[in-house]
Amino acid sequence: MERSDKDAVRAKLARSIGKEPTYEEKKRRKERAKQRRSLGRKREAPTLDDDEEPRPGRPRRTAHGNDATRDGCVVGIVRASVRVRVDGVEVDVAPPRELALAIGDRVRLAERSGRMRIVELEPRRTRLARPDPADPRRELVLAANVDVGVIVASVVAPPLVAGLVDRLRLALERGGVRALVAVNKVELLREGGAEAEELDALVAEWRALDLDVHRVSASTGVGLEGLRASLDGRTSVLVGHSGVGKSSLANALAPHAELTVGELAVGANRGRHTTTAGRMLELGADTWLIDTPGVRQFGLAGWTAADVRAAFADLASFASDCRFRDCTHLVEPECAVRAAVERGALGARRFESYARIARSLASD
Ligand SMILES: Nc1nc2c(ncn2[C@@H]2O[C@H](COP(=O)(O)OP(=O)(O)OP(=O)(O)O)[C@@H](O)[C@H]2O)c(=O)[nH]1
Ligand SMILES: [Mg+2]
Ligand SMILES: [Zn+2]
């Protein structure tokens, strides 16, 4: 390279880091500002908590300016980019600054300065959300626009945490998502053992509450056909504690998925969380599955005591006989719910799971 060339490159670099914008750069910036203004006018400020119900047949908002826009679905999110499926192809785009996206979000893309950018977020039809640990008044959406939430638990390693299943179910149903349970690693159960009996009792309890339960094993394939059938033609999300086998199930269900499972990342300093970002996979025609990172706890911030009472419909059916109309069933005298537990009309475990959640509300 000639010396003068190098000088020219240096001068260009100096300009490009903002010291002295070139004429072209000034023109480009002006153009971008104009696009941002027109975008701001036309967009109906999508937000994280957009509660607007999608209206069937609602006419599409007009495209921005003369740009061609494309509809896509968010299938993956990592810190530096968002993966969007557009017309059957996955593209990586920059995360928009003003929108917090979730896997499953429907977005609109447009070309901006030669790159595809997300310019609009469609209202979410359903959602699985939890409070942001950093700011419990804010919600983090784990998955959007899903039909089914598969609560994955494992019989042993890690042991089944019934309370987490309850909480996930409440959060799913509140977000408009039908919950079902997949109990994984069933091949590890010793037949007739205490754990097997314990599981039978829990499963009976869940089924009595109209919760579909599948006993499965990602390792042996047991029960996968039944689970697969209940996901057919729908979009589903796998949720549950870390290590229960969500990614293993996704791999077993999706023909070409190669998600990382447990062993490979054990020992990493963040503990056992193998999956660190959600991912949407194609299981078949119109059938999609989202794998999510494991949750340790699942807070229900934003829920009132009345919300929780209403969510436990089986308890509520006894509550009309409580002495106090706003009885919490925890401490009040002449409580018909606790009386029902005492005479065996209401499962003690079911009551305990209610009581645990009701007591913990303040600490979420
Ligand atoms: N015995 C047995 N082990 C399983 C089964 N399914 C998964 N595992 C093992 O359980 C461990 C955790 O599996 P993952 O699929 O990574 O669990 P995960 O729920 O995705 O965990 P996170 O990504 O951390 O949330 C791995 O060692 C798997 O091999 C099963 O059906 N039987
Ligand atoms: Mg995983
Ligand atoms: Zn009561």
Return the structure tokens found at 289. 């599955």
DSSP 181-221: EEEE-GGGSPTTSHHHHHHHHHHHHHHHTT-EEEE--TTT-
Q: 284 in ligand 1 pocket by Cβ < 6 Å?
A: no
- What contacts 322, CB < 8 A, 6 or more positions away? 329, 332, 334, 335, 336, 337
What is the structure's pLDDT at 309? 85
Residue 263 beta carbon below 6 angstroms from any ligand 1 atom: yes
- Cβ of residue 245 lying under 6 Å from some atom of ligand 1: yes
DSSP designation for 245: S
Distance 332 CA to ligand 3 centre (A): 7
Report CA-CA distances (Å) from 216 to 239, 272, 287, 292: 15, 22, 19, 18
pLDDT at 35: 53
**248, 270, 279, 290, best to mutate for ligand 1 pocket (most atoms within 8 Å of CB):** 248
**Can you tell me which atom of ligand 1 is nearest the CA of 276?**
23
The token duo for 103 is 């896997």
SS3 state of residue 107? strand
pTM reported for the whole predicted model:
0.77
User: Which domains, from first to last, does the chain contain?
Assistant: 42-121 (2.40.50), 140-291 (3.40.50.300), 305-363 (1.10.40.50)
pLDDT digit of tens for each residue in the chain (364 aa)? 445 555 554 444 444 443 444 555 556 666 665 555 544 433 333 333 333 333 333 334 444 444 588 999 999 998 788 999 999 899 999 988 888 899 999 999 998 888 889 999 999 999 999 888 788 778 889 999 999 999 999 998 888 888 889 899 999 998 999 999 999 999 999 888 888 998 998 999 899 888 999 999 999 999 999 999 999 999 999 999 999 999 999 999 987 777 767 654 444 333 466 777 889 999 998 999 999 998 877 877 778 888 888 888 889 889 999 999 989 999 999 999 999 999 999 988 889 889 988 887 755 4
- Surrounding ion ligand 3 within 5 Å at CB are 322, 327, 329, 335, 337
Atom of ligand 1 nearest to the CA of 262: 16
Q: Is 142 in the pocket of ligand 1 (CB under 6 A)?
A: no
Amino acid at 149: G
Closest to 231 (Cα-Cα) out of 182, 269, 190, 192: 182
Amino acid making up residue 146? V
Distances in Å between the Cα of 30 and the Cα atoms of 20, 35, 108, 112, 113 are 15, 9, 23, 13, 11
Can you point out the beta strands (E) in the chain?
Answer: 69-78, 81-86, 89-93, 106-112, 115-121, 127-132, 135-144, 148-154, 178-184, 212-215, 235-239, 279-284, 287-291
